Amino acid sequence: MNKRDGSDMGKNADLLNTYVSLPEDIKMMLKKAIKKSSAISKEQFLAEVMTGKCPQCGSNHTKNCDKMEGIQDFTVGLCMRCGYLWCSECGKPLVKDIHCNHWDICRKCDIADESGFCGNDLLECKKLKVGLD
């Protein structure tokens, strides 16, 4: 879409309204993250925040694979520097398969909903620690 035709104005207004409604401590954290960021685009900044650093090489130049043909999964992280693939939910490498085994464990969990979400921190989950090791 052409930015001159005003098509982004609605998105920007929604974003501004969301930002204004945030608590002050969250606004301060966002400002701090923006200052520390090396991102050169909105998309790259979101990737830094949502996907995080590459566990293999430490690069901030990462993205999720939600729009990548053949993967289409926002929980799969891809490092644009070294090509490493990992599960951005639990941190495990995805070397042989892009399907992380943690989803199978979560779907069977008695406290998770039908899609496998329970609201607990995956890195602290005892069932995942035992099942993935």
Of 23 and 120, the one with more pLDDT: 23
Judge whether 122 lies within some domain. Answer: no
Judge whether 56 lies within some domain. Answer: no
Quote the pTM value.
0.62
Give the pLDDT of residue 88: 86
DSSP the chain: --GGGTTTHHHHHHHHHHHHHS-HHHHHHHHHHHHH---SSHHHHHHHHHT-S-TTT--S-EEEETTSTTT-EEEEEEETTT--EEETTT--B-SS-SS-THHHHHHH-TTS-TTS--SS-GGG-HHHHHHH-
Going by pLDDT thresholds of 50, 70 and 90, the confidence category of residue 22 is confident
Mean pLDDT estimate for the chain? 80
Of 8 and 2, the one with more pLDDT: 8
Q: For residue 118, is pLDDT > 90?
A: no
Judge whether 16 lies within some domain. Answer: yes
Region 99-117 average pLDDT: 79
Judge whether 17 lies within some domain. Answer: yes
